[in-house]
Amino acid sequence: MKEFLLAPEPDHPELSVPVTGIDQDGVATDVSVVTERPLTLFLNGQEIVTMMTIGDHPDLLAVGYLLNQNMVRSDDEITAIDHDKDIDTIVVRTKRKTDYEEKLKKKTQTSGCAQGTVFGDIMEEFDDIKLNKNAVVKTSWLYDLQKKINTVPSLYLKAGAIHGCVLCQENKPLIYVEDVGRHNAVDKIAGYMFLNKIHAGDKSFYTTGRLTSEMVIKTAKMGIPILLSRSGFTAWGVDLARQVSMTLIGRMRGKRFVVLSGQERVEFDHD
């Protein structure tokens, strides 16, 4: 846990609740169930979206969401972040005046669980993304990362029904967050990186979910050249990864994996 800048809090009392049921033998049993609550996001005075989330790190989620939707720019100055827990709202205020009335009319539901959403012009800057060509990923790092990520205490191990995302550097996991939707988890990491000015070019990104178009787009927009998952791929996700020369590694199980894009960054250093 010491090497994590941010790690899951499986024992946080507001992130899961005990629920009583019966098991396959009809015997009463208590299980932990993750929470799910709405969070309505405002940018300056404009309502943007209502997200379903477990409720931790609302500031990171809000900033990361706005970044990944092209509503907050990389050079924007955030002047305040106001979270009102009682009415489930968060307001991000920027020095630059914003108005996204037209953009909000163009809404697309993504393949992400918990109804991920993207807005009209998210692909406008995708063709201009340049990822670090000199980044590498060693097979020994992949095996180390899997072991460290899979054994750290998490809500997934405690209650399930949740996705995790991890920002990594070489064989070290740095930031590990969870949420009911993987798009929320990746947005939290984007928000943390923006607010803490973390460089992306030498990092990799691990997700427990599928490698979909949404995951590739968001990871590329964050400037991260390597995307990893224990799950599988979608065809459009692979096409987009190849378009921006992102290294895409999926089906990571033990010492098995499949690379469908960016093979030139992989160094086979493990026997």
Q: How is 205-253 classified by DSSP, letter by letter? A: EEESS-B-HHHHHHHHHTT--EEEESS-B-HHHHHHHHHTT-EEEEEEE
* Residue 166 covered by a domain: yes
Paired with 6 in beta bridges are 175
Rounded average pLDDT per 10-residue block, the chain, 271 residues: 84 96 96 96 95 97 94 96 97 95 67 51 78 97 95 93 96 97 94 97 96 93 96 97 97 96 95 63
pLDDT of residue 2: 58
pLDDT of residue 114: 41
* Residue 259 covered by a domain: yes
* DSSP code, position 193: H
* Residue 125 covered by a domain: no
pLDDT of residue 128: 87
* Residue 141 covered by a domain: yes
Return the structure tokens found at 69.
């939707």
- Listed in sequence order, the residues at least 6 apart from 175 whose beta carbon sits closer than 8 Å to its beta carbon are 4, 5, 6, 166, 167, 189, 192, 193
pLDDT of residue 113: 47
pLDDT of residue 115: 44
pLDDT of residue 107: 61
pLDDT of residue 12: 96
* Residue 173 covered by a domain: yes
This model's pTM is above 0.85: yes
Compute how many other C-beta atoms are within 10 angstroms of the C-beta atom of residue 3: 12
Count of domains for the chain: 1
Mean pLDDT, the chain, rounded, equals: 92
Q: Which domain holds residue 246?
A: 137-267
* Residue 112 covered by a domain: no
- Cα-based distances in Å from 185 to 24, 38, 92, 99, 182: 33, 15, 18, 26, 5
* Residue 214 covered by a domain: yes
* Residue 175 covered by a domain: yes
pLDDT of residue 264: 98
CATH of the domain at 162: 3.40.140.10
